[in-house]
Amino acid sequence: MAEHTNGSRPTEAAQDRIPTVIADDLHIVYRVYGTGAGKGSA
């Protein structure tokens, strides 16, 4: 598979703790990427 950049720079999305909401069909997945992320903790 080829990488998709969509004209955006990778450094713009490489911030600490980026809240990401993924809508997969009818399921909503909320993830926060950062140091120690993996377990859903608020």
Q: State the Cα–Cα distance between residues 5 and 7, nearest whole angstrom.
A: 5
Residue 33: per-residue pLDDT: 63
Confidence of residue 42 (pLDDT cuts 50, 70, 90): low
pTM over 0.85: no
Calculate the CA dihedral of residues 13, 16, 30, 1 and round it to 10 degrees: 40
pLDDT, tens digit, for every residue of 2-40? 555 555 555 555 556 667 777 777 766 666 666 554 555
Residue 32: per-residue pLDDT: 67
